Amino acid sequence: MSIFEVKDDLFKICLVGDGGVGKTAIVERFLGKGFASTYNLTIGTNICTHTVDVDGSRVKFQIWDLAGQQRFEFVRSTFYRGSHAIVMVFDVTNPNSLSNLHEWKIEILKNLNGKHENLPIVLLGNKSDLQHKQVIDQDAISKFKDELQMEFHADSTAFMYTSALSGMNIEESFEVLGLLLLKKRDPKSYIDKSSSNFKVETNLPSPKTSNA
């Protein structure tokens, strides 16, 4: 099996967003490795796997944590193939990191060769522990949410504020992602399960924090 092939029971996820927004920190927190305050930029991509329980099912993620720096644009194009979902990350203290997600969206669409219909997308506003420095207004976020919903599908998108530093919403974001993937794979079973014991807002839910 080549590195680009993914087994049936594994979901390939690409994390995208500008250099420094916290993609690697999010993944490390998710893997239980804690938080490092030093910035070691990713070169190319880091790949890891992690299995979690989502709504009673075992969900295996194969996570491709892509290098966000511009200079890796060329090499990144080869990494999207076969992705089952995308996590788009911006830094709530850096407006450019949100506006640049438009370019990331174009890069994703280009490299998925049209295979993006109903692609689960989770948008994360990271570094939300730095609320005193938050400069991005809600309108800009709402606008980009609308853009994602237009391009993909309202039922396959979700938004959350996260902090890799505090751990806020890190596990929850992957849980939401897992639910979107399970729902896409088996809509009937998902509806049956979700009606009995799990409720998730897939249509770009409000952040879990009250002041977001």
Ligand X SMILES: Nc1nc2c(ncn2[C@@H]2O[C@H](COP(=O)(O)OP(=O)(O)OP(=O)(O)O)[C@@H](O)[C@H]2O)c(=O)[nH]1
9: three-class secondary structure by DSSP = coil
**In whole angstroms, how close is the CB of 162 to ligand X at the nearest point?**
7
Among 12, 23, 116, 184, binds ligand X (CB under 6 A): 23
**The only residue of 48, 60, 129, 194 in contact with ligand X, by rule CB under 6 A:** 129
Please report the DSSP string for 156-192 in residue order.
Answer: GEEEEE--TTT-TTHHHHHHHHHHHHHHHH-HHHHHH
- Bridge partners (DSSP) of residue 52 are 59
Closer residue to ligand X in complex, CB, 18/55: 18
Return the range that interacts with ligand X (CB under 6 A); candidates 65-73, 74-82, 104-112, 144-152: 65-73
**Counting contacts by CB under 6 A, is residue 25 touching ligand X?**
yes
Q: Give the interface segment with ligand X, choosing from 1-9, 78-86, 106-114, 127-135 (CB under 6 A).
A: 127-135
Q: From the centroid of its chain, how far is CA 67?
A: 14
Q: How large is the angle between the packed helices 187-197 and 170-185, nearest 10 degrees? A: 130
Task: State the minimum distance, in angstroms, from the CB of residue 36 to Mg ion.
Answer: 11
Q: Which one of ligand X, Mg ion, none interacts with residue 125, CB within 5 to 8 A by kind?
A: none
* 194 is a contact residue toward ligand X (CB under 6 A): no
Q: 78 by DSSP, 3-state: which?
A: coil
Token representation of residue 186: 């088996």
> Are 45 and 95 contacting, i.e. CB atoms less than 8 angstroms apart?
no
Q: Which letter does DSSP use for residue 122 in this model?
A: E
Determine, following the binding rule CB under 5 A, whether residue 45 of this chain makes contact with Mg ion: no
Phi/psi zone of residue 113: left (φ > 0), alpha (ψ -120 to 50 degrees), beta?
left
Nearer to Mg ion, 42 or 57 (CB): 42
Minimum CB separation of residue 15 from Mg ion in Å reads: 8
Asked if 68 interacts with ligand X (CB under 6 A), we say yes
User: Binding of ligand X at residue 67 (CB under 6 A)?
Assistant: yes
Residue 54 CB, shortest distance to ligand X, in Å, is: 23
Report 27-56 residues binding ligand X (CB under 6 A): 36-39, 41-42
Radius of gyration from C-alpha coordinates of the chain: 16
